[in-house]
Copies of this chain bind each other. A is one copy, B any other.
Amino acid sequence: MAMAGFALDDRQRLDWLRLIRSESIGPRTFRTLVNRFGGAAGALDALPELGRQAGRTLRLCTIAEAEREFEALRRRGAHLIALGEAAYPVPLQAIDSAPPLIAIEGEPAVLSRPCVALVGSRNASAAGLKFTATLARELGEAGFVVVSGLARGIDTSAHQASLESGTIAVLAGGLDQVYPPQNISLLDRIRPRGAALSEMPLGWVPRGRDFPRRNRLVSGLALGTVVVEAARKSGSLITARFANEQGRQVFAVPGSPLDPRAEGGNHLIREGAILCAETAHVVDVLAPMLRQGDLFGPVPFLAREGGEPPARQEALWDELDLPEVLPAPKLELESEFPRRQDVVADVPHRLLLDLIGSAPIAMDDLVRASGRPAREVSRILLELELEGVVQRHAGGALSRSG
């Protein structure tokens, strides 16, 4: 369903914000609920009962909380853009787990220009930083906006070299929770011609797992992702994997096999990434794409807000039978927050789904079989139930639907 001209009114935007800010609701569940209930308002009405059926009390974001966030954003000069609205970046709209709302600060025009993501190690070499700066500057000269994650090292170099031409920093926390703090001043220099972008609420302090989650937006905004220096197990490789899953070009800069910072890039090249040794190696691939129409596949279905729920819901579920919204990274992370332990864990939907067959199984048995904490299993089961792939029986046992 095309969404040209789609725009939320104030009330709808408030409902969207409340729904996405409510407990256990991620981008994928958001879309499931909006499609099932014909809009965010209907989903908010239905959630308490859905939670009760799942044996849980879901905390909804209140109207007052949502209004406070709007007001705080307004005071900062930030905007919320809804999935499907004209200002929402087209490449990002095409990814499976596109955030329903993105908060941006800066120059909105930058969101409509073609982007290249540059990512790499925080502990970059002098040569890596120099190469990144040259690449970012020349990509800017070629008309591309440089997207990165505002981290130390490669990210910082990429943003700095593209301040004039335009650069987008995607934050893992809220727009007011810049990490690392020493890059607050860099972000101040990014905004005049570029933008800061976040899907998280103001005040959200980024946790370890928010960084790989954020990386899908870095790759999703761009036609291609260039990995400049990356250890074998690093967040940059997760960004590259997201780019690949999103059907975007993946480029990697090679390095000596004796340099651990080159392991990730060399590995990606062996896996099929395009070797990038100069800017032309990126531009020569991406520039011709700009002359094609319809670069991105069909946008995942989203019901028109306030419209009727579609007649054949089954077809919708099929359409929504997508991979995990936020797949558990298969790579161990080079943690961006070395002091935290929660970097790797992400929702193991697939694991639980594999354990659930057509014969009902008790929640306790699932907890034992999965080896995951009861609270996590409960949360995932709710999501699976909301997606319609799992159904709950008398006594709370679960089986596959249909």
Interface residues of A (CB under 8 A from B): 127, 130-131, 253-259, 262-263, 266-267, 269-270, 274-278, 281
Taking A127-B258, A263-B277, A270-B275 as known contacts, 20 extra A-B pairs with beta carbons closer than 8 A to each other, sorted by chain A number, are A130-B258, A131-B256, A253-B257, A254-B255, A254-B257, A254-B262, A254-B266, A254-B269, A255-B255, A256-B256, A256-B259, A256-B262, A257-B277, A262-B277, A267-B277, A269-B269, A270-B274, A270-B277, A270-B281, A275-B275
Please report whether the interface of chain A is mostly helix, strand, loop or mixed according to DSSP.
mixed
Q: Which residues of B contact A253 (CB under 8 A)?
A: 256-257
**What is the distance, in angstroms, from A254's C-beta to the closest C-beta of chain B?**
3
Q: Which residues of B contact A263 (CB under 8 A)?
A: 277
Instruction: Report the Cα distance A266→B254, complex, angstroms.
Output: 7
Chain B's closest residue to A126 (CB) is B258
Chain B's closest residue to A254 (CB) is B254
Instruction: Report the Cα distance A131→B127, complex, angstroms.
Output: 20
Q: Which residues of B contact A277 (CB under 8 A)?
A: 257, 262-263, 266-267, 270
Instruction: Report the Cα distance A258→B259, complex, angstroms.
Output: 14
Contact yes or no, B281 A127, CB < 8 A: no
Q: Which residues of B contact A262 (CB under 8 A)?
A: 254, 256, 277
Among A262, A276, A277, the one with the most B-chain Cβ atoms within 10 Å of its Cβ is: A277
Among A254, A266, A274, A276, the one with the most B-chain Cβ atoms within 10 Å of its Cβ is: A254
Instruction: Report the Cα distance A127→B254, complex, angstroms.
Output: 15
26 sample A-B contacts, Cβ–Cβ < 8 Å, listed by A number: A127-B256, A127-B258, A130-B258, A131-B256, A131-B257, A131-B258, A253-B256, A253-B257, A254-B254, A254-B255, A254-B257, A254-B262, A254-B269, A255-B256, A256-B256, A256-B262, A257-B276, A257-B278, A263-B277, A266-B275, A267-B277, A269-B269, A269-B275, A270-B274, A270-B277, A270-B281
**What is the distance, in angstroms, from A255's C-beta to the closest C-beta of chain B?**
5
Among A131, A259, A269, A275, the one with the most B-chain Cβ atoms within 10 Å of its Cβ is: A275
Instruction: Report the Cα distance A266→B270, complex, angstroms.
Output: 12
Instruction: Report the Cα distance A281→B262, complex, angstroms.
Output: 16
Instruction: Report the Cα distance A255→B270, complex, angstroms.
Output: 14
Q: Which residues of B contact A276 (CB under 8 A)?
A: 257
Chain B's closest residue to A266 (CB) is B277
Q: Which residues of B contact A257 (CB under 8 A)?
A: 131, 253-254, 276-278
Report the 6 A-B pairs with minimum CB-CB distance, sorted nearest first: A254-B254, A257-B277, A266-B277, A127-B258, A270-B275, A255-B256
Q: Which residues of B contact A275 (CB under 8 A)?
A: 254, 266, 269-270, 275
Instruction: Report the Cα distance A131→B255, complex, angstroms.
Output: 13
Instruction: Report the Cα distance A263→B275, complex, angstroms.
Output: 12
Instruction: Report the Cα distance A255→B265, complex, angstroms.
Output: 11
Instruction: Report the Cα distance A270→B284, complex, angstroms.
Output: 13
Instruction: Report the Cα distance A258→B127, complex, angstroms.
Output: 7
Q: Which residues of B contact A281 (CB under 8 A)?
A: 270
Instruction: Report the Cα distance A257→B266, complex, angstroms.
Output: 12
**What is the distance, in angstroms, from A128's C-beta to the closest C-beta of chain B?**
8
Q: Which residues of B contact A259 (CB under 8 A)?
A: 256
Instruction: Report the Cα distance A33→B169, complex, angstroms.
Output: 71
Q: Which residues of B contact A127 (CB under 8 A)?
A: 256, 258
